[in-house]
Amino acid sequence: MPDELQVNDSKVRLVKGDITDIDVDSFVYYAREDLSLGSGYGNAIAMRGGPAIQDELKELGPKGVTEVVITSAGNMKARKIIHAVGPKFQEEELPHKMRKTIINALKLADEQGIKQVSFPAMGAGFYGVPLEESAELTLSTIKDYLQNGSRIQEVIICLLDTREYLPFQKKLNSIQQA
């Protein structure tokens, strides 16, 4: 099955790995409303990036669900981090909020002239969005956004393991077939 999708001049690509440890212009962190980094990927950002990132966030937060902010990536391989406050734990109007969060992240990247953005499986895992739903919302929203014109050249969906990868690959395939 394919791992890539061409949308106008942009490419959507699936990779397997740790999103906090890839060499990319920017990546999206599924943030909390208080913008504290916390554990999980937040812990990895704090450890690999250093304290400067949380210091920047202190000046930017708190933010409501669907809002996004951008910081440097400290000592990480990436250059920028887009902190996107997505919906959590089956909250009301989750699909609508998720789409809006993804669009806001892409818009911010466009405004900042960022050419390469990496997304995780949005809301999946700890925050409980089923993988199939995450794949549908993440990929279809990104495709729709890129179809309307964007300067972003590449969107990388970085998935932690096979369990995450396969539903995204399946969804990408169904988008290509459509």
Looking at residue 59, what DSSP letter applies?
A: H
Q: Which of residues 32-61 bind other proteins (CB under 8 A)?
A: 36-44, 46-48, 50-51, 53-55
Q: Closest approach of Cβ 124 to other proteins, in Å?
A: 9
Shortest Å, Cβ 54 to other proteins: 3
Single residue of 4, 21, 33, 132 touching other proteins by CB under 8 A? 21
Measured distance CA(57)–CA(72) in Å, rounded: 10
Question: Could you give the CA distance from residue 112 to residue 114 in angstroms, rounded to a whole number?
Answer: 5
Nearest alpha carbon to residue 58 among 71, 67, 68, 44: 71
Among 2, 62, 95, 128, binds other proteins (CB under 8 A): 128
In this structure, are residues 21 and 15 in contact, taking their beta carbons and an 8 Å threshold?
Answer: no
Interface contacts to other proteins, rule CB under 8 A: 18, 21, 36-44, 46-48, 50-51, 53-55, 88-92, 125-126, 128, 160-163
